[in-house]
Amino acid sequence: MAPMVVALILGWWLVAASRAQQLPRPSLSLHPIQRVSLGDNVALRCHLPRLAAWVWLYQERGWSYNKGKEKEQDAAEFSFVSTQREHAGRYRCQYRVSWSVGASEKSDPVELVLTDHSYSPPSISIHPEQCVEMGTNITIRCWNKDYGAAFFLHKDGSSAPIKHQDSSGGGAAKFTFLAVTPADSGTYRCSYRSRGYPFVSSPLGDSVMLEVTPTAAPSGAVEQSCANLVMALVRGFVAALVFGLGVYFVIDARSLWIRRDDNCGAPPVTVRV
C-alpha cells in the first residue's frame, strides 16, 4: 500500500511541476523607477501574463509576502509606505493560477535601491581633460571619505549605473574608457554604497562633462589631399583639351574631304584664246 501512495504522490508532484513549467513567467517593475529615497513611498508591481489568484513577492535573502484575492487579477501591487533600510534589496515575484496547478517560475530580479541623504556625496574628476579627440583613453575617478565602499558611475540619460567598482578599502575608484567615441560624450556622476547596506546609496555627486570630437586629420594628409585634388583637376582639363582637339581635327579633315570630292565631280572648264 505504501509504495502505491508514494507513487501517487510522486505522480501528482511531477504533473504539477510540468504544469508549472508551462506557466509563462511574470515580470516585475518598480514605481517610481529610480532615485527612491529613504522614507519615500514605493510600489513593486508584478505583471501576470494570465489571470491568477495568488501572487508572491520575494526579497532575496530576506522575507516573502503573498497576496491572494477571491477575484483573479492580471497584476498585483506591493506597496511600501515610508521605506526603511530593510526594504532595500533585490526582488522577484511568482504566481499560482490554482492550488491544483504548480506555481510559475519567478520573474527576473528588480533592485530597490534607496538613497540615504545622510551620506555625503562623492567627488569626481576626469583625466586628461573634458574635451578629447576620438580614440583617446580617459579615466574618471570617484572618491569619498567612507572607506570600503562600492562606487557606481552614472551617465545622464541612463536609468541604471553604467559601471561599478569596489574601492578595495581605498575610498576611491577609477573608471577607464579605452578609445572613446562620440557615443561616450555626456555628463557623468558618481554614487557609492557601503558594504553593510549594498542597496542603500549615497546621493549623486557633482558632475563632469565629457566631449569627444572627431580626430583631426594630420597637416601632411591635408596637403596631400589638396595636391591629389589639384592633380585630378589638371588631368581632367588635359583630357578635355585632348578630346576637343581630336574632335576639331576630325571635323576639319571631313570638311577637306568634302571639298575635294566636290572639285573632282565638277565639269572641265574651257579657256578660249
* Beta-carbon count within 10 A of 4 CB: 8
Which residue type is seen at 152?
Answer: F
Query: Phi, psi (5° rounding) for residue 240?
Result: -65, -40
Top pLDDT among 85 and 273 is at 85
Q: In whole angstroms, what is the distance from residue 170 CA to residue 144 CA? A: 9
Domain 2-115 has CATH 2.60.40.10: yes
* Confidence at residue 71, expressed as pLDDT on a 0 to 100 scale: 64
| DSSP per-residue string spanning 131-148 | EEETT--EEEEEE-S-TT
* Confidence at residue 17, expressed as pLDDT on a 0 to 100 scale: 46
Cell matching residue 103: 506555481
Contact assessment for residue 170 and residue 135, using Cβ atoms and an 8 Å cutoff: no
Domain boundaries along the sequence of the chain: 2-115, 123-213
Asked whether the domain spanning 123-213 has the same topology as the one spanning 2-115, the reply is yes
Q: Is the pLDDT of residue 265 over 80?
A: no
* Confidence at residue 50, expressed as pLDDT on a 0 to 100 scale: 86
Which residue type is seen at 44?
Answer: L
Domain 123-213 has CATH 2.60.40.10: yes
* Range in 73-82, 161-170, 218-227 with the lowest mean pLDDT: 218-227
pTM: 0.67
* Confidence at residue 12, expressed as pLDDT on a 0 to 100 scale: 45
Cell matching residue 225: 589631399
Taking alpha carbons only, the member of 53, 100, 99, 44 closest to residue 74 is: 53
pLDDT tens digits for 173-191? 999 999 999 999 999 999 9
Top pLDDT among 128 and 8 is at 128
Average pLDDT, the chain: 80
pLDDT tens digits for 209-233? 999 998 765 555 545 655 666 677 6
Q: Tell me the C-alpha to C-alpha distance, in Å, between residue 136 and each of 2, 185, 193, 216, 218.
A: 74, 12, 30, 12, 16
